[in-house]
Amino acid sequence: MTRNLIRRRLKTIVERRIAEGTAGVDIVFRAFPSITEASFEELETEVNRALTRALRARPAEA
């Protein structure tokens, strides 16, 4: 049950980012046990921070 809750939360956060125009990058999430203690807002903040960092780090398109 907890695993599915976390999966649904991550899916919702990523779908929001895709709707905002984030594309062209593959991301793998590794969730540690402490993720179960995070609120949706905390999780969203951390995921958005990681996605922003990943997008900045990707090579420029030719």
pTM of the model: 0.78
Distance CA 8, CA 13 (A): 9
Which pair of tokens denotes residue 42?
């905390």
- Closest-CA residue to 39 (of 11, 5, 16, 14): 5
Reduced to 3 states (helix: H, G, I; strand: E, B; else coil), residue 56 is: helix
* Residue 62, pLDDT above cutoff 70: no
Question: How far is Cα 40 from Cα 45, in angstroms, rounded to an integer?
Answer: 9
pLDDT tens digits for range 34-61? 999 999 999 999 999 988 888 887 776 6
pLDDT digits (tens, 9 = 90+) for 8-41: 999 999 999 888 887 777 888 888 999 999 999 9
Predicted pLDDT of residue 61? 63
Q: Are 13 and 44 in contact (CB under 8 A)?
A: yes
